[in-house]
Structure 1
Amino acid sequence: MKLLIVSGLSGSGKSIALDTLEDCGYYCIDNLPVSLLDDFITRVMLTDKVTYAKTAIGIDSRNPSDSLLNFSESMNAIRKKKIDCEVIFMQAEESVLLKRYSETRRKHPLTDFNTPLKEALRIEKEMLTPIARYASFVIDTSRTHYHELRELIRNQIGERDTRQISLQFQSFGFKHGIPLDADFVFDARSLPNPYWLPELRGLTGKDDAVIEFLKSQPLVNEFYQDIAGLLERWVARFEAEGRSYLTIAVGCTGGQHRSVYLIDSLAKRFRSPFLNVIVRHRELH
């Protein structure tokens, strides 16, 4: 049996994640109290193992704070029942969350006459820390639009073979911020930059002219080989330790040329029947 616990900050996209998982065949429940989690597993999931073979449960800050503090006890109880359980934690930058609430005009669950939105976000982050500590996979949605998030959930979680580790290769631009959900971050800004060639400036790392330019640079090839060698040595060890997801991010200045080329090259090298490989170019969207 498979149980996914979807949690995270309000406004980060938990509802979209649950809707997507439902489309992938999961039985989804939003806002189940942590205090009822053990009873639900014992009296519902284990009673009807067909209907609830794949279940996703949303747990968020609408729970009482003392229940969230005891989340570790709930996880220990789940593990004793031999259920395959993973925690998906979703987050976004504070400025992005403030903007989303301003645009949608929805009320944050922790705001009241004495608690403004910014303070509610801080309190919520602290309340959910016990769940975040158990996260198998962290999704930062600060620069992820609706359709991209759905695709990411489907590829990484909803339709993944549970026997495979998922590798997400992501390019980004340092001037737009480092991805918060990356496990490995590599800085390609010291490599030769196609941007300074007028004929390549308007292209990206997906265009043949840029690819040929970067392929001809010894430093680029050396950088690529070092990252590939590191991952070839360590991915299997992460998988052996029970990791289901690993995000490798490569950044350059703007996220258009060097990082895009390197990420596509790494993804091509590691794509196989034994690995679930996802590619994301953050700044190309």
Structure 2
Amino acid sequence: MRFVIVTGMSGAGKSTTLKMMEDMGYFCVDNMPIPLMTKLTELLIVPNGEITKIALGLDIRSGQNLRALDQVLDELEKAKIPLEILFLESNDDTLVKRYKETRRNHPLSKGGRIENGIAKERKKIAFLKERADYILDTSRMLTRELRSELNRIFAENKEYKNLYITVLSFGFKYGIPSDADLVFDVRFLPNPYYIDELRPQSGNDKPVRDYVMNNDISKEFLKKLVDMVEFLIPNYVAEGKNQLVIAIGCTGGKHRSVTLANELYERLSVAEKEYGVRKEHRDIEKDAITKAK
């Protein structure tokens, strides 16, 4: 028997998650009234029953009853119900953007600013985040990445990676990423921009990669960067951090930063560790777009 409560910030992807878990064979119920949770659990969790996987969606819409959830969870744990809590997180900027794109109001904004509703919600559901077994930050996750992570945890039963790392390349002339935790400037490395045959290419192309990396300074920098990041990761995990954005920048975000981001990503993803890792090249196409205008 597997019993999962899916909760978290409104707009972080709870409905999408429940649909994905339904595809994995879970019996899913969204926005379950909290006073009915104990009774539903008694009905569904029976020895040798047909239903062996359950996912309940709970969020801020439960209103005043939300605080009662703490007591209900205590009672379920005392009854030795195999309970797991998945908390879906997302940063404020992403949540605001999602609400504006869908033209929906936040449940707690009451017609006012979305930011105020998000702030109120964070306070009200903080106790759920503290009790969570899994925290997934969907701020930068693509739909397929979310599906893959859920499948790994709830279908393949693999060990949960409680830290998700994004290695992000960017161009300083387009601004430093606002959500970056660590920022590295690689504008001191050899610049392929000044080589006519390399200028149209990017750090994803082998000639550019070779030009940037075939010197002692680049190799030494990468070695020290990997060493420092691998030192920091266990400490971030111990702190409880669940999302780490490592931003690597050059002037335009097309050559040097892309090359170094790829190299760092490859070294961090060589083995199964206590973290997941993805890469993103934010500005790799912007140079061509700007010139086209």
TM-score by length of 1: 0.70
Contact 2:165 2:275 in 1 (8 A): no
d(CA) in 1 for partners of 2:210 and 2:84?
45
Q: Hey, what does 1:182 align to over in structure 2?
A: none
Q: In structure 2, the residue corresponding to 1:188 is in which secondary structure? A: strand
Distance 1:276 1:201, change over 3 A: same
* Distance change >3 Å, CA 196–CA 176, structure 1 → 2: farther
Matching of residue 249 in structure 1 with residue 241 in structure 2 = no
Q: Which runs of 5+ in 2 are unaligned?
A: 286-293
Once residues 28 and 55 of structure 2 are traced to their aligned partners in structure 1, the CA distance between those partners, rounded to angstroms, is 5
**Mapping 1:177-192, distance limit 5 Å:** 177-178=178-179, 185-190=181-186, 192=188
| Contact 2:4–2:56 (Cα < 8 Å) also in 1 | yes
Partner of 1:13: 13
User: Relative to 1, partners in 2 of residues 1:170 and 1:274: Cα closer, same or farther, differing over 3 Å?
Assistant: closer
- Distance in 2 between residues matched to 1:279 and 1:201, nearest whole Å: 26
Q: Contact between 1:194 and 1:210, CA under 8 Å: does it hold in 2?
A: no
CA distance in structure 1 between the aligned counterparts of 2:234 and 2:75, rounded to whole angstroms: 26
Q: Secondary structure at the match of 1:176?
A: coil
In percent, how many aligned pairs have the same letter? 22
Q: 1:98 to 1:121 in 2, by over 3 A?
A: same
What amino acid sits opposite 1:209 in the alignment?
P
Where in structure 1 are there 5+ consecutive unaligned residues? 180-184
Q: What TM-score results when the alignment is normalised by the length of structure 2? A: 0.69
Alignment of 1:100 onto 2:98: yes
* CA-atom RMSD in angstroms: 4.0
Supply the distance in 2 between the matched residues of 1:38 and 1:231 (Cα, whole angstroms): 45
Q: Deviations for 1:97-119, whole angstroms, at most 9, x for unmatched residues? A: 34433443323322436x55443
Deviates more, 1:192-201 or 1:214-223: 192-201
Aligned residues: 269
Shift of 1:125: 2.0
Aligned to 1:279: 278
1:144-196 superposed Cα distances (whole Å, 9 cap, x missing partner): 5xxx2x211121122343333447442224722225xxxxx543215645667
Is residue 2:171 matched to residue 1:170? no
Corresponding position of 2:206: 208
Residue number in structure 1 paired with 2:51: 51
Q: Do the aligned partners of 1:267 and 1:277 also contact (CA within 8 Å) in 2? A: no
1:122 counterpart SS class: helix
CA-to-aligned-CA distance 1:80-131 (integer Å, 9 cap, x gap): 626262423222324x434433443323322436x55443222122212112
Mapped contact 1:24–1:154 kept (Cα < 8 A): no
Aligned-partner SS, 2:104: coil
Larger radius of gyration: 2
Q: Structure 1 residues 277 and 13 mapped into 2: Cα distance closer, same or farther (>3 Å)?
A: closer
Secondary structure of 1:15's counterpart equals helix
1:34 touches 1:67 (CA, 8 Å); kept in 2?
yes
